Amino acid sequence: MLLDLDDSQLVLVDYQVRLMPAMFEGEAIVANALRLARMAALLHVPVFVTEQNPSKLGATVADLQSALTDAQHRVLGKMQFSAVEEGLGEWLRPPAKPVQGNARSLPKHLQKSSQASSERSTVVLAGCEAHVCLLQTALDLLEDEFEVWVVTDACSSRTERNRDAAFDRLAGAGVELVTTEMVAFEWLRSAEHPLFRDVQALIK
């Protein structure tokens, strides 16, 4: 099973100014988050950003905020560790809009919600801390029947042990574990993709 570009949404969890200095390999993690955000912008993948207790942990790091200016994105402030508990699921899968007018007078293909055709059910997830907010968000997304792909080289915790324990648990729960380059090349699928060189430049 490969990632489907047209079914993907990117969620970046808690890359915040007062949190990142404490993360294991924090600079490399932010660098890969930047790559993911820029690829999403190029390929028109919707992006959602979360910030845990932003009054205490600060906003998203400046470099990532800059990268997101070109991406279609929304920012969700939260206090719960799982972003799903704060409404992320509704952002990723908006409630169906009711059909306007007299439904009985419409052809059958128009009686279905217009939302259905644009719904994306795959979530590409990266962030911090891997064993807390990222883990709880991923498990709740699975419960909500999303396909969840966690980008391991764009995730971290304060300790390597906690990060790796999160990956073990996520894999056991059915999450797909990938890297930034896997995401890039599965979204592209071919060296003939018109944006191949632009995406390739981001990961070299």
| CATH number of the domain within which 47 lies | 3.40.50.850
- Amino acid residing at 16: Q
Tokens of 40: 């999403």
Choice between 7 and 103, residue whose per-residue pLDDT is larger:
7
Q: How far is CA 62 from CA 30, 66, 120, in A?
A: 10, 6, 28
Tell me if residue 130 falls in helix, strand or coil: helix
Within a domain: 109: no
| Structural domain span for residue 150 | 5-92+118-203
Kindly report whether the peptide bond that precedes residue 192 is cis, defined as omega within 30 degrees of 0: no
Within a domain: 102: no
Q: Domain count of the chain?
A: 1
pLDDT band at 118 (very low <50, low <70, confident <90, very high): low
The whole-number pLDDT of residue 183 equals 98
Within a domain: 106: no
Within a domain: 98: no
The whole-number pLDDT of residue 27 equals 95
Within a domain: 99: no
Q: How far is CA 158 from CA 15, 76, 131, 155, in A?
A: 13, 23, 10, 11
Checking if the pLDDT of 126 tops 50, the result is yes
The whole-number pLDDT of residue 70 equals 80
pTM of the model: 0.88
